[in-house]
Each structure stands twice: as structure tokens, then as C-alpha cells.
Structure 1
Amino acid sequence: MKRSFLRASVALGLCLATALPGAWAQTANPRVRVTTNLGDIEIELQADKAPKTVANFLQYVKDKHYDGTIFHRVIANFMVQGGGFDTRYKQKPTRAPIQHEGRAATAAGLKNQIGTVAMARTGDPHSATSQFFINVVDNAFLDPVLIPEGDPVPRFEYRGQVVENVPRNQLLNHPQLWGYTVFGKVTSGMDVVQKIRNTPTGAGGPLPTDVPQTPIVIQSITLIP
């Protein structure tokens, strides 16, 4: 049973980038409408800062992968996550995972702040496929950590700890420093996100916790012309 997300110290359980033909590839920062049974959410996708991740997400949109999926993991003081399970709590098949591009996105200014959209994944940083989450609070601890120049890195600080003369590759591949790739932001419909955030949760199907007790269905995700 897979539940994409981080399963480390904070106990979080949080694709092949495809060139998109025609109009799908023409807009620098395309927008999509997430139609749910609680209302619509509009998201601007940051293709200029996370191009591979946006291309991957749009391919799933084009394939109608998200139609009939649910928000299956909701934590009121953290995030709402969906895009992987259908209404029977069956995980949908996906394409191959994408390479993590969170550090480049972070360097370009994208952070896990309230209202931003990021890719969910397993403990493997290069495992993101279709699942995504919307931050409902600022989650700075999910941001990818930028590694200073140098090899070895002469000085590195992380959460109050200081290390010196560390091989650069050791820091680049440290599992706690990858973070989560932000690729979009909610531009309309945060009231709907708040409804999702505040829904009562419990067990659902094979999922033991954090599942909305009244299903919150993604009826469709469509590109806004």
C-alpha cells in the first residue's frame, strides 16, 4: 500500500517530463481549473521556474488522470493532498517518476508557503508522479535546501547545526535536504481549499488516517484558455 509523502521525523506520508504538443506548450505560465464537489480552485503553474514538473502535471491533466480522483489526505495544520486515488480508494496507475527539480525552483523563488502547490513523493526524491498537495500553512521545512558553492563545502548550516569541509556530493544527496518541489500557486478558490482543510477526517478504505469522511472528489482538472 503506497501513500506518497515524506515518512521521516515529522511522520509525513508525502515523471517522466513530456514535451506537450500544440497549445499545451505555448503559454509560459498556464492556468488550470480544479473542479471539485466543493467548488473550483484555479492554479497558476510556474512553468518558468519548474518546467519539467509543470509539463508532467499538464500531461496528467491532458490524459484526464485526475478526473474522479479524491483528496485522500487532509491535515488541517499542514496540507491537503490528492491526485492518486479514485473514489474507491484504489490507487491509479501512473507514468514513470520525474527527476526532482526542487532546488532550481527554490532558487527561482518558489517556496512551500500557504496557497502553493507542490509534488508529493515517497522518501525517494525522484519518485514524484501524479500526486500533489496544496500547502494550507507556511511549511518552510519542506523547502529544498540550497547547497553553498565549493567542494568540499567550507561551511554549511542546517537547523542550528554547523558542519565544515563536507564533500559537496554528500550534501547534494542527503535525504533530508531534497525537500519538495513547488510548481504552482492557487490564484482563486482558497475558500474551497479552506473547506477541504476543515473537513472531518478519519480512516477510509485501506488508509488508516487523515481521510475526509465525506469524499472530496476532483471531478476534473482542465486547462484555462
Structure 2
Amino acid sequence: MGPRRLRIAAWLAAMLLAGVAVAAPPRVRIETSAGNIVVQLDAERAPLSVKNFLQYAADGFYAGTIFHRVVTGFIIQGGGYQEDLSLKPARAPVANESGNGLANHRGTIAMARSADPHSADAQFYFNLADNVALDPKPTRWGYAVFGTVVEGMDVVDEIGHRATTSRNDLADVPVQPVVIRKVVVLPDPGS
């Protein structure tokens, strides 16, 4: 092969490789009064949940919400209530993606919902343990996992050990509120 053909072949190979480049999974930093939590989101397996969460983050919705439910050894839940325990109005719910192959293992983030499997909107929770009971079964829906903690699991654990009480018809409310200051979408490390 002559030099001209080698240059053309190298150029074609470079163009093909450039077209194959895949963006890194999105990451967010949840800044709380207890410290920061960095989460890598799985947009490939939970596209609706990730898009929903990122839109709430972009809108600044989570600023001033709290972790209103702390169950030691189980979960910490937040993203819907404010410090006075008033519920922030959320957008329409997203479809349940619990059958996406992601499990409710320790350190994962998932969509909180009511008994209606398709009722998840803004609220989310972190798993403090492997909670297989929250995964889907052939006869029922589960809770959709959409990411994993990559930094700040110590913060999640610390929140998970907070003393709790009952307030305004809610159980397991931390005595000392943990406020979400903001959720920041982090830049792609490859860009």
C-alpha cells in the first residue's frame, strides 16, 4: 500500500473512531447540609427516570427540599418536601422502569413512588442496604433504580443514622433536617 493510501486509510479510521465516541454517563452532585453526594446516572437503562431527574435538577426544583424519610439500615428519601414539611408541587409522573436490570443494592438511587407503580415524580431515595424486596417480581412492579453513588456514600450513611421523629403525619422524619441545597449536573470528564 502506497503512502497516499495509508494516509487515506488512517484518516478513515480516525473518522470512524471519532463517530464511535460515546459520552460518559451523566453525573450529578447533590449538595446537602450534611455534605455532598456524587451520583452516576444510568441513562442507558433508565432513560425516563434519568431525564426526569435531570430536568428537576436543571429547574432548581430540589433546592430547599429535605430528606424527609430516614429508615436506618433501609433507605433515605428526599426531593419532595421542604423544611416546613410542605410538599412541593411536582410535574406529571414518569413510567416505571423497574424492569431495567438494575437492582436496589446498597449505594443506588431509585425513584420513590406511592402504591401506584407509575406515580414516581420528583422524589428519590438512596438504598442503605441491598433491598431486594424493592426489585420487581414477575407478579408486581418494583422501584426503578437509575444510578449509583460514586462519591459521598459516607454522607448517605451519616444521614441514614440520624435520629427521627413523627411530624405532620409523616414518620421517620429526621429531628435535625438535612437540606438539599442544590443538585448540580457535572461536566463530562472527557470534554
Q: Given the alignment of the two structures, is residue 63 of structure 1 paired with residue 59 of structure 2, yes or no?
A: yes
Q: CA deviation at 1:207?
A: 3.4
Which residue matches 2:161?
Answer: 198
CA distance in 2, matches of 1:49, 1:208: 32
Q: Deviations over 1:1-31 (max 9, x none)?
A: xxxxxxxxxxxxxxxxxxxxxxxxx945100
Which residue matches 1:31?
Answer: 27
CA distance in 2, matches of 1:63, 1:80: 23
Amino acid at match of 2:155: V
Q: Given the alignment of the two structures, is residue 122 of structure 1 paired with residue 118 of structure 2, yes or no?
A: no
The question of whether the paired residues in 2 share the 8 Å contact of 1:80 and 1:134 is answered with yes
- Identical pairs, percent: 48
Q: Given the alignment of the two structures, is residue 221 of structure 1 paired with residue 186 of structure 2, yes or no?
A: no
Q: Deviations over 1:36-58 (max 9, x none)?
A: 01110000000011011100110
Q: Which runs of 5+ in 1 are unaligned?
A: 1-25, 148-170, 172-176
Bigger-Rg structure (1/2): 2
Which residue matches 1:85?
Answer: 81
Which residue matches 2:19?
Answer: none
Runs of 4+ with >4 A deviation: none
Q: Which runs of 5+ in 2 are unaligned?
A: 1-21
Between the two proteins, the alignment pairs up a number of residues equal to 166
RMSD: 1.2
Q: Report matched runs for 1:147-166 at 5 Å.
A: 147=138
CA distance in 2, matches of 1:143, 1:209: 23
SS of the residue aligned with 2:109? strand
Q: Given the alignment of the two structures, is residue 100 of structure 1 paired with residue 96 of structure 2, yes or no?
A: yes
Q: From 39, 45, 49, give the equivalent of 1:43.
A: 39
Q: From 50, 55, 61, give the equivalent of 1:54.
A: 50
CA distance in 2, matches of 1:207, 1:62: 30
Amino acid at match of 1:122: S
Amino acid at match of 2:184: T
Superposition TM-score, scaled by structure 2 size: 0.84
Superposition TM-score, scaled by structure 1 size: 0.72
Amino acid at match of 1:211: V
